[in-house]
Amino acid sequence: MTRPAVRAAVGLVLLLAAASTPFAQDVERRKGFSIRITYPANQEVIFGKVKITAEVEAPDPAEIDRVEFLVGDKVIFVDRQAPWECFHDFGEESKSWVIRAVAYHREGISVSDVVITRKMSFGAFEKVNRVILWVSVTDKQDRFVTGLDKDSFRVFEDGRQQQIIDFYPEDRPITLAIVLDTSGSMLDNMDDVHAAARSFVDTLRPEDQALVIDFDDRVFLIQDRTPDKDALTEAVTSTEALGATALYDALHAAYRKLRGIEGRKAIILLSDGDDTSSQFSYKRVLEEAKANETIIYAIGLGTGVAKDVLREFAENTGGRAFFVKKAAELTGVYQRIAEELRRQYYLTYSTGIDTWDGHWVKIRVENTDSNLAVRARRGFFAVKPEGAQPAPAAAR
């Protein structure tokens, strides 16, 4: 580098160092004067019309001059009296929004807070407004009921009955993620786990595919998606018990592996304990479960299992949670799941919602015979697929 260039650049650096930085806080002057955005929360998913609220603290509240609310670089509202809040329409598209609130003191100083909302990614979405459901029906003795016809089912969306369009017993291929807890606490059960998982693999039809994930505190794909039963058997029987339990990480990984695969998909999860080391949160993975069509079958082994968590995942997705005390009982449970997968019904209906603002749309499926129990996923998020045209204003 030439010497004059160095000289000039150093001068520039000194000039720059003196420049003010808005992120630096003049702590003394701001003592006791602060602002916090109370809604929405950081990393929350928001759509549509949202009330933004902020709390401002000052030794003398009368000295607060105003609060400016900004979305991105644009001031959307200037509030001159408490409560400090405003409404803003964030539209139908899921996006990350930068929301700022700046409080101005009558003395001229200001404080600010910022929250950044999260863009929600959906692994699956309702295609062309058509909602797909896979339904299992059992009688009072918990036996699967087959041979039912379309007219014996009723579908309710947010309490309103919907017309079923397609209906037939489901016998098309399925894609499965076999997720095995191999944390240290499973050490004494591994032989039974291997035997049960092997027996489950044996039930797969030639057109079905499966992948195998094992997890302790780390999550590994032992076998990628394949119809090859030998490869799957080798994978499920090669696992060894070690480490802590990253249950949520494993579930999220299974969702990622199944993402983009068309048709019926299910996760068969075996775990013997509560999550102890996941980096994904329960809320985040439950959100993923609710946003997908993938069915979860959860098997809890032993007494240390988090039953509520496994039930929540299973029931939201139209699956089922099983709890067994001994590993020797696992083969029976796996066989039961295999049977259920062969005895489901496929039905679709056209959604009646017209507001695609990300809200949760509840689904309930019933049978005309009240003695029968019906299981299907419990709803979906009203989010349009990326790139879809918004509904005309008149239709909203």
Partner 1 sequence: MRRSPGPVVLLALAATLLGSPALAGKAGEVRTRSFQLLNEGVAAYTHGDYATAVDALRESAAMALNSFRAYYYLGLALNGDRRYAEAVDALKIALDLDPNHPQALVALGDANLALGDADEADAAYYRALKIRPDFPQALDGLARSYDARAETDKAIETFRRAIASNAGYAEGYTHLGDVYLRLGRYDDAVKLLSEAVSIRPDYAPGLNRLATAYDRLGLYDQAVATIAEAIRLEPKNPDHPATLGTIQVSLGLLARAEASFRTALDLDPAHPEAREGMAEIDRRRGDYAAALEHLDAALADDRLNRHQREHLQTVRDAVEAEKSRFETLEAAVRDGTANDTDRLDLADLYARRGLWDRAIEVERAVPAAAGGERLAYMLLRAGRSRDALEIYTALADATPRADLRVNVGVALARLGRDEDAAAAFRRALEIDAQDVRARLYLGNALLRLGREADAAAEYRRYLDKVSKGEDAERVRQILERIAPAPADAASATETRS
Between 5 and 128, CB nearer to partner 1: 5
State residue 259 phi and psi, 5-degree precision.
-60, 135
Long-range contacts of 63-66 (CB under 8 A, 24+ apart): 63/105, 63/106, 63/107, 64/103, 64/104, 64/105, 64/106, 65/104, 65/105, 65/106, 66/103, 66/104
Q: How far apart are CA 381 and CA 371, in angstroms?
A: 30
Q: Min. distance of Cβ 222 from partner 1 in angstroms?
A: 5
* Cα-based angle 206, 208, 212 (whole degrees, multiple of 5): 115
387 interacts with partner 1 by CB under 8 A: no
**Over the Cα atoms of the chain, what is R_g?**
27
Q: For the chain, what is the largest distance between any 2 Cα atoms, rounded to a whole number of angstroms?
A: 90
Q: How far apart are CA 142 and CA 111, in angstroms?
A: 61
| Cβ atoms of residues 117 and 46 within 8 Å | yes
Collapsing DSSP to helix, strand or coil, 108 comes out as coil
Q: How far apart are CA 193 and CA 174, in angstroms?
A: 22
Query: Using the rule CB under 8 A, which residue among 41, 75, 82, 98 binds partner 1?
Result: 98
Find tokens 């001159």 and name the residue: 80
122 interacts with partner 1 by CB under 8 A: no
Which residues within the stretch 278-337 sit at the binding site for partner 1 (CB under 8 A)? 278-280, 284
Query: Using the rule CB under 8 A, which residue among 69, 97, 356, 380 binds partner 1?
Result: 97
Q: Min. distance of Cβ 383 from partner 1 in angstroms?
A: 16
Collapsing DSSP to helix, strand or coil, 31 comes out as coil
Per-residue binder mask for partner 1 (CB under 8 A), 183-212, x = binder:
------------------------------
Q: Min. distance of Cβ 220 from partner 1 in angstroms?
A: 5
Query: Using the rule CB under 8 A, which residue among 4, 147, 159, 387 binds partner 1?
Result: 4
Size of site (CB under 8 A) for partner 1: 63
Between 2 and 371, CB nearer to partner 1: 2
Q: Which stretch binds partner 1 (CB under 8 A): 110-118, 128-136, 263-271, 384-392?
A: 110-118
Between 78 and 116, CB nearer to partner 1: 116
264 interacts with partner 1 by CB under 8 A: no
Q: How far apart are CA 77 and CA 127, in angstroms?
A: 37
128 Cβ neighbours under 8 A, 6+ residues apart = none
Query: Using the rule CB under 8 A, which residue among 67, 111, 137, 213 binds partner 1?
Result: 213
Between 146 and 238, CB nearer to partner 1: 238
Write the secondary structure of 238-249 as one string of H (helix), E (strand) and C (coil). CCCCCCCCCHHH
Q: How far apart are CA 275 and CA 304, in angstroms?
A: 11
Per-residue binder mask for partner 1 (CB under 8 A), 31-70, x = binder:
-----------xx---------------------------
Per-residue binder mask for partner 1 (CB under 8 A), 216-255, x = binder:
--xxxxxxx---------xx-xxxx-x---x--xx-xx--
How many other β-carbons are positioned within 10 Å of the β-carbon of residue 22? 7
114 interacts with partner 1 by CB under 8 A: yes
Q: Min. distance of Cβ 86 from partner 1 in angstroms?
A: 19
Q: Min. distance of Cβ 282 from partner 1 in angstroms?
A: 13
Q: Min. distance of Cβ 127 from partner 1 in angstroms?
A: 21
121 interacts with partner 1 by CB under 8 A: yes
Between 3 and 80, CB nearer to partner 1: 3
**C-alpha 184, offset from chain centre:** 27
Q: Min. distance of Cβ 13 from partner 1 in angstroms?
A: 5
16 interacts with partner 1 by CB under 8 A: yes
DSSP β-ladder status, 174-181 and 320-324: unpaired
Find tokens 């993975």 and name the residue: 285
27 interacts with partner 1 by CB under 8 A: no
Q: Min. distance of Cβ 302 from partner 1 in angstroms?
A: 21
Q: How far apart are CA 343 and CA 329, in angstroms?
A: 22
Tell me the residue length of the chain.
396
Q: How far apart are CA 123 and CA 356, in angstroms?
A: 17
How many other β-carbons are positioned within 10 Å of the β-carbon of residue 77? 16
Residues of the shown chain interacting with partner 1 in the complex, contacts defined by CB under 8 A = 1-14, 16-19, 21-24, 42-43, 72, 95-98, 114, 116-117, 119, 121, 182, 213-215, 218-224, 234-235, 237-240, 242, 246, 249-250, 252-253, 256-257, 278-280, 284
